[in-house]
A and B are shown apart, each in its own frame.
Chain A
């Protein structure tokens, strides 16, 4: 078989494989088995660890399900509006609450850490939504919040937001590195 012939066979196959991989972007399980919902068990909100070799926060297996999935991020965007997250954090720019679109994370910017901040609440005004929002939805909101600073998978985040927006679309942003908040660290916070 000549090179050209091989290419003609391989190209559609490759295209099909690529487009199939694209299906996972919106994979959704509308009716998952009712597992005991417990949230992430051990979440550290600080990046400081004792000892010479810092141990990272253990990653929750569910984080991967929500983090890179367009369906969950889009749902999170709806809940962000419905449950009035925008009332304090606005659409990422912050106001009464801290900004969510920058690189500063007082209590950690991993999805488990954002989950914990929403579920447990944080000092100086962030309420605990543990009993008010079912766990799946908290995960989805956390996935959306991560996308505000371009930390979610660019293939999964929406290219058009539901609200007016000044900065470039979420899937066209440069990733903000995860950092602690220096001011908060100085004041003795996480």
Chain B
């Protein structure tokens, strides 16, 4: 094999294998639903692959047969040649094969579709509202004190089914965590539901899968599957109000936050900031990304985001607020205390 062909084969093989695991792939299922969908995928691959090879095989055979010299024969064509009964049997078999393949695909698709609609016992209830371009996440609870709101990050307990209620605030979006399940649209004025039963610990990435405007590409979220005990600790912490800042810098940052434009859109539970237009920032520092997956959550990126949101995500609803550098540093300092 020439060296270049070897390299190409290696790249293709390597790319294929790399696609099989990761934080955002349907080929590495971490939940019952994604595993069922993977069954469809494998069935389709086998059925369609076999048919493809058969068709190509027959095509090659026909090409090979055609390379005989044409028979020079002026005799009239007989009514029935000797090969005809065999050809008729072959055609019948071929039709039967196609019907069988389609039947297998239809049956598997029907069974998987039914299994996706099933919800296990005692499901966790989560409400997700898609906005241009971020995700509001509300955890429901039996009592009002058990409910809390966060953004762009879902935590799920291992082995417990979760029912995710999907809403849209402006345009049509689509909720997609490939490792956990398929896509479900979020449609304004309509409530959709999706069930997920995570079976493997890990952090996964979700993404809006329906074009929804300028920043559709930067509309991602994180999903973390925790052991039940860790999840319960996280849940109890999220319910709590934000702690008061201690250092002078952070105290000043809080004052800037509540006296400037930030307070018009964002909520920090336990402070005067109570607006519900933008993401809830009560426990911002506990999240791994900001701006719906556009940037990692660290000091530099937080400063860059606040200093010039339209530079990071042109078109986002977050405006550039005229803060001086002292105010900017103080606000970021304060936001980083919101663990």
In the assembled complex, which residues on chain A have CB atoms less than 8 Å from the CB atom of B275?
A: 82
Judge whether B261 is part of the interface by a CB distance below 8 angstroms. yes
Chain A positions 55-88 with a Cβ under 8 Å from a chain B Cβ: 78, 82-83
In the assembled complex, which residues on chain A have CB atoms less than 8 Å from the CB atom of B50?
A: none
Judge whether A186 is part of the interface by a CB distance below 8 angstroms. no
Contact pattern, B 308-327, Cβ under 8 Å of A = 1, otherwise 0: 10110011010111100000
In the assembled complex, which residues on chain A have CB atoms less than 8 Å from the CB atom of B320?
A: 34, 134
Report the minimum CB–CB distance from A160 to chain B (whole Å).
Answer: 14
Judge whether B110 is part of the interface by a CB distance below 8 angstroms. no
Chain A positions 116-147 with a Cβ under 8 Å from a chain B Cβ: 131-137
Give complex CA distance A133, B275 in Å: 13
The answer to whether A30 and B261 touch across the interface, beta carbons within 8 angstroms, is: no
Give complex CA distance A133, B317 in Å: 13
Question: Given A34-B320, A37-B322, A82-B277, is A132 in contact with B310 using a C-beta cutoff of 8 Å?
Answer: no
Report the minimum CB–CB distance from A162 to chain B (whole Å).
Answer: 10
Q: Please name the residue on chain B nearest to A36 by beta carbon.
A: B322
Interface residue SS majority, chain A: loop
The answer to whether B261 and A133 touch across the interface, beta carbons within 8 angstroms, is: yes
Give complex CA distance A133, B261 in Å: 5
Interface residue SS majority, chain B: loop
Report the minimum CB–CB distance from A178 to chain B (whole Å).
Answer: 29
Judge whether A41 is part of the interface by a CB distance below 8 angstroms. no
The answer to whether A134 and B322 touch across the interface, beta carbons within 8 angstroms, is: yes
Give complex CA distance A30, B311 in Å: 9
Judge whether A31 is part of the interface by a CB distance below 8 angstroms. yes
Give complex CA distance A71, B213 in Å: 14
Question: Given A37-B322, A132-B261, A134-B319, is A30 in contact with B308 using a C-beta cutoff of 8 Å?
Answer: no
| Interchain Cβ contacts within 8 Å, total number | 34
Q: Please name the residue on chain B nearest to A134 by beta carbon.
A: B319
The answer to whether B261 and A134 touch across the interface, beta carbons within 8 angstroms, is: yes
Interface size class of A (residues with CB under 8 A): 10 to 19
In the assembled complex, which residues on chain B have CB atoms less than 8 Å from the CB atom of A30?
A: 214, 310, 314-315
Judge whether B192 is part of the interface by a CB distance below 8 angstroms. no
In the assembled complex, which residues on chain A have CB atoms less than 8 Å from the CB atom of B314?
A: 30-31
The answer to whether A132 and B264 touch across the interface, beta carbons within 8 angstroms, is: yes
Report the minimum CB–CB distance from A82 to chain B (whole Å).
Answer: 5
In the assembled complex, which residues on chain A have CB atoms less than 8 Å from the CB atom of B321?
A: 134
In the assembled complex, which residues on chain A have CB atoms less than 8 Å from the CB atom of B263?
A: 132
The answer to whether A82 and B322 touch across the interface, beta carbons within 8 angstroms, is: no
Question: Given A82-B264, A134-B321, A136-B319, is A31 in contact with B259 using a C-beta cutoff of 8 Å?
Answer: no
In the assembled complex, which residues on chain A have CB atoms less than 8 Å from the CB atom of B264?
A: 82-83, 132-133
Judge whether B265 is part of the interface by a CB distance below 8 angstroms. yes
Judge whether B115 is part of the interface by a CB distance below 8 angstroms. no
Report the minimum CB–CB distance from A67 to chain B (whole Å).
Answer: 19
Judge whether B260 is part of the interface by a CB distance below 8 angstroms. yes
Q: Please name the residue on chain B nearest to A28 by beta carbon.
A: B315
Chain B interface residues (CB < 8 Å from chain A): 214, 259-261, 263-265, 275, 277, 308, 310-311, 314-315, 317, 319-322
- Ordered by A's residue number, 17 sampled pairs between the chains whose C-beta atoms are within 8 Å are A30-B214, A30-B310, A31-B311, A31-B314, A82-B264, A82-B275, A82-B277, A83-B264, A131-B259, A131-B261, A132-B260, A132-B261, A132-B263, A132-B264, A134-B322, A135-B322, A137-B319
Which 9 A-B pairs rank lowest in CB-CB distance, beginning with the nearest? A30-B314, A31-B310, A134-B319, A82-B277, A30-B315, A31-B314, A134-B261, A132-B264, A134-B321
Chain A interface residues (CB < 8 Å from chain B): 30-31, 34, 37, 78, 82-83, 131-137
